[in-house]
Amino acid sequence: MEEWPERPYWQFFCGEEFFLHELPVDDSQLSRWRKRIGEAGVEQLLKLTIEAGLRTRTVTPKQMQVVVVDTTVQPKAVEFPTDARLFRKVLHHLLRVADATETKSRQSHRDLAKSAFLMHGRYKKAKHYKRAAKERKKLKVYAGRVQRDLERKMSDEAWEQHKDTLILAELVLTQEKKTKGKVYSMHAPEVECIAKGKAHKPYEFGVKTSQATTAWGGFALGAKSLPGNPYDGHTLEEQLEQVAQLTGVMPKRCHVDRGYKGHGVDPESCRVIIAGSRKGISKAMKKEMKRRSSIEPEIGHQKADGKLGRNWLKGVLGDAQNAVLCAVGHNLRKILAHLRRLFVRIWTWWIPALTHLRRSWAPGECAA
């Protein structure tokens, strides 16, 4: 959006006749539009991409009978949470509340907090952990002083207006190492700490997301955010219901990993095959089971090519919409790639045929 006034080629291909020096839309229009359509609106967009995939034959009804479901973490656009950073953020938010309500505090501690934060980083770098802990405690004391000063001097109306920020500040300052439901970000308190068992990334800060794709082709048939970090098996029935709602038919078989044991899905509606199962597995199902891991690269593409790797949308609604919108973009890329391959096939067939027709219609040959 910011590059629109600098790119005349973009404006020309978007249908503009004259060069525009201003932005075509306001930045906040997309945010208001997402709030108006809600989660049901973006699911309708996903349904339209599935219908487009069927019309272009990017995906077939037979492929939609076998799906693969897995969960991943949708990281939020937040800094890596540390105690020192959180205490400094709390102090800055409290000072903004003081400025907004015109409350004069005894001492802002702004410069002292900046110095303590810098020294905390230097001591941590030098592995002087006791000195770093002292600086971290200073930051907590500074934020606590400003918080108590505001609570004494603020009116009831100002408290009601800024109670969300003040309650979050209280939670951050009182939470301990083993506190349940910790706050990891002041601007995104819905962020959760999720451990997925990865060696390179032990913890991720965001929300768990469920993905459903076809076993062959990797076409996205469903996506849901799962706030609260629920057990994978308890989310499978809800995910299959979304797939049935968007496609109009319940899949016959669903392949999942071993984290979905105890899912509770009715086998008459959809047979769930857990990885490593041997009982009642035919040769065709064994072939399908090898496709269970095909969802992993599809999730990787949504994180690398889409916005699933870092969610910039605000709130719980933003988490839900971003998961579905990433699936929408994934399907559109699949459809465009299929149409490109189809065009190349037609073009490679048409050029030799056209050359042959030109030779057969040459004037010399016609006279002969």
- Residue-wise pLDDT for 148-194, tens only, equals 999 999 999 999 999 999 999 999 999 998 898 899 999 999 999 99
Q: Indicate whether 181 and 272 sit together in one domain.
A: no
Residue 340 located in a structural domain: no
pLDDT above 50: residue 366 = no
Q: Could you tell me how many helices (H) and strands (E) the chain has, helices first?
A: 12, 6
Q: Indicate whether 265 and 220 sit together in one domain.
A: yes
More confidently predicted of 67 and 363: 67
Q: Indicate whether 94 and 217 sit together in one domain.
A: no
- State what percent of residues in the chain have pLDDT above 90: 71
Residue 338 located in a structural domain: no
Residue 4 located in a structural domain: no
Residue 310 located in a structural domain: yes
Domain finish residue from 171, 187, 203: 187
pLDDT in tens, 249-267: 999 999 999 999 988 889 8
Q: Indicate whether 227 and 323 sit together in one domain.
A: yes
Q: Indicate whether 68 and 200 sit together in one domain.
A: yes
Q: Indicate whether 241 and 212 sit together in one domain.
A: yes
Q: Indicate whether 319 and 216 sit together in one domain.
A: yes
> How confident is residue 364, by pLDDT bands cut at 50, 70 and 90?
low
Residue 358 located in a structural domain: no
Q: Indicate whether 65 and 103 sit together in one domain.
A: no
Tokens describing residue 342: 């189809």
Q: Specify whether the CB–CB gap between 243 and 218 falls below 8 A.
A: no
Q: Number of structural domains, the chain?
A: 2
Q: How far is CA 75 from CA 72, 125, 309, 323, in A?
A: 9, 26, 6, 11
> What pLDDT shows up at residue 285?
87
Q: What CATH number is attached to the domain comprising 285?
A: 3.30.420.10
DSSP string for residues in 175-203: --TT-SS----SS-TT-EEEE---SS-SE
Residue 353 located in a structural domain: no
- State what percent of residues in the chain have pLDDT above 70: 98
Residue 342 located in a structural domain: no
Q: Indicate whether 205 and 325 sit together in one domain.
A: yes
> What pLDDT shows up at residue 351?
81
| Domain enclosing residue 54, as ranges | 38-76+193-333
Domain finish residue from 141, 162, 187: 187
pLDDT above 50: residue 296 = yes
Domain finish residue from 187, 205, 235: 187
Mean pLDDT for the chain?
Answer: 91
Q: Indicate whether 87 and 142 sit together in one domain.
A: yes
> How confident is residue 220, by pLDDT bands cut at 50, 70 and 90?
very high
Q: Indicate whether 124 and 109 sit together in one domain.
A: yes
Residue 345 located in a structural domain: no
The pLDDT of 339-361, averaged and rounded, is 83
> What pLDDT shows up at residue 10?
82
> How confident is residue 368, by pLDDT bands cut at 50, 70 and 90?
very low
Q: Indicate whether 238 and 297 sit together in one domain.
A: yes
> How confident is residue 367, by pLDDT bands cut at 50, 70 and 90?
very low
